[in-house]
Amino acid sequence: MYAIVRAGGRQEKVSVGDVLLIDKVGQAGDSIDLIPLLVVDGSSVTSDADKLAKVSVKAEVVKAAKGPKITIMKYKNKTGYRKRQGHRQPLTQVKITSIDA
Domain that holds residue 37: 2-100
- Which of 81, 84, 36, 38 minimizes the C-alpha distance to 57? 36
State the pLDDT at residue 101: 78
Report the domain count for the chain: 1
- Determine which helix (DSSP H) or strand (DSSP E) holds 51, and give its type and residue range: helix 49-52
- SS3 per residue for 71-83: EEEEEECCCCEEE
pLDDT tens per residue, range 50-90: 999 999 999 999 999 999 999 999 999 999 999 999 999 99
- Which of 49, 14, 50 minimizes the C-alpha distance to 34? 14
| pLDDT at 20 > cutoff 90 | yes
